[in-house]
């Protein structure tokens, strides 16, 4: 639940990939794309992610996606529920 706070998420995925040994794995849990209501006005990060697009980013930086799924919803004080995903890549 940190990636959506990082402006240049592709750079951090690239850096994580470089740190992994062969067969090493990177797992990220974050929000599925949403309308911006999760954080509200003034938030400068990402409003979640399109899982297919994030998978492409993994592949660009040498990670094979071995698992991805929406696995739960997080309910917020605003009364809405927001889907969360996990994506796992292997070097």
Give the residue extent of every domain in the chain: 3-90
Strand order in the sheet with 25-31: 25-31, 81-90, 64-75
41-75: per-residue pLDDT in tens?
999 999 999 999 999 999 999 999 999 999 999 99
Q: Name the phi and psi angles at 83, rounded to 5.
A: -65, 145
Q: What is the pTM of this model?
A: 0.94
Class of domain 3-90 as given by CATH: alpha beta
When the pLDDT of each residue in the chain is averaged and rounded to a whole number, the result is 97
Helix axes 9-19, 51-60, angle to 10 degrees: 50
Distances (CA, A) of 21 to 6, 13, 26, 38, 87: 24, 14, 11, 35, 18
Q: Rounded CA gap, 55 and 66, in Å?
A: 10
């Amino acid at each position: 639940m940190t990636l959506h706070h990082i402006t240049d998420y592709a750079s951090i995925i690239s850096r994580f990939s470089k740190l992994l040994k062969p067969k090493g794995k990177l797992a990220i849990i974050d929000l599925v794309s949403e309308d911006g209501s999760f954080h509200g006005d003034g938030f400068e990060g990402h409003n979640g992610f399109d899982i297919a697009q994030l998978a492409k980013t993994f592949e660009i930086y040498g990670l094979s996606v071995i698992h991805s799924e929406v696995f739960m919803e997080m309910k917020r004080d605003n009364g809405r529920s927001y889907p969360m995903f996990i994506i796992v890549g292997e070097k």
